[in-house]
Amino acid sequence: MNKKQKDQTTEQKILEAARAVFMEQGMAGARMQDIADKAGINKALLHYYFRNKNKLFEVIFLDAAARFMPRVSMLFESEQPLFDKIRAFTTTYMNMLSENPYLPTFILTEMHKQDGAKFLEKIWGGEKPPVEKLAAQVRKEAAKGIIKPINPLELILNMVSMCVFPFAAKPMAKLVFNLSEAQFKQVMEQRKTSVAQFIIDSIRK
């Protein structure tokens, strides 16, 4: 048996190319030939490494989904004050999104078509993040009078919405607000702190 000690193994090249093509074109729009070309190999070799399009897609999709539903243990487990959690989450999450611009639309679109339960199983082993932990904290801080009462589910939805949506809507936002690429980036940079502030201003008593 022999191992590749080259700069980048063929499998890595394939995965990288597949990620790029699937993210931009989606499952239906992606062409195996395009993936092969981008990886600098030919189509047969692609099928040698990944039996078919579905198998390859599944690998990419699961990896992307895992990244999109981030390690929220930070949010649910630790004993930080709520405001700190909000600040930490929004900046961390938006930093990740800056580096994965196609991730949101890709995941959202494909989630409409794939069997959700199946992927949940593979990502979290059938378990969901313990939303109840965070909910308890929200209720507790509300009782203490630190924040207004708010449905924790709505709080999370609002937070994730404001982080994700502007990236998903980037082409439209640039159009409507007449922004250059640089200007758009600048706005997103600002938002890495302003979103948390917006939320905190809303729920603080």
State the residues that interact with its own copies by CB under 8 A.
24-29, 69, 102, 105, 107-109, 111-113, 116-117, 120, 128-129, 131, 148, 150-151, 153-154, 157-158, 160-162, 164-166, 168-169, 171-178, 187, 190-191, 194-195, 198-199, 201-203
Look at residue 147 and give its three-state secondary structure: strand
**What CA–CA distances, in Å, run from 117 to 13, 57, 104, 121, 123?**
30, 17, 19, 6, 10
Angle between helices 53-68 and 103-113 (to 10 degrees): 120
Minimum Å gap between C-beta 156 and its own copies is 8
Closest to its own copies by CB, 7 vs 201, is: 201
Q: Is 7 in the site for DNA (CB under 7 A)?
A: no
Pick one of its own copies, DNA, none as the site partner of residue 41 (Cβ within 5 to 8 A by kind).
DNA
Closest to DNA by CB, 12 vs 202, is: 12
Q: Is 2 in the site for DNA (CB under 7 A)?
A: yes
**What is d(CA 41, CA 39) in angstroms, rounded to the nearest whole number?**
6
Q: Which helix (H) or strand (E) holds 9?
A: none
Q: Is 1 in the site for DNA (CB under 7 A)?
A: yes
Closest to DNA by CB, 58 vs 88, is: 58
Sequential DSSP letters for 65-117: HHHHS--THHHHTS---HHHHHHHHHHHHHHHHHH-TTHHHHHHHHHHHS-HH
Closest to its own copies by CB, 46 vs 195, is: 195
**What is d(CA 174, CA 46) in angstroms, rounded to the nearest whole number?**
37
Q: Binding residue for DNA (CB under 7 A) from 16, 37, 38, 53? A: 53
- Residues forming contacts to DNA in the complex (CB under 7 A) are 1-2, 4, 10, 30-33, 41-45, 47-48, 51-54
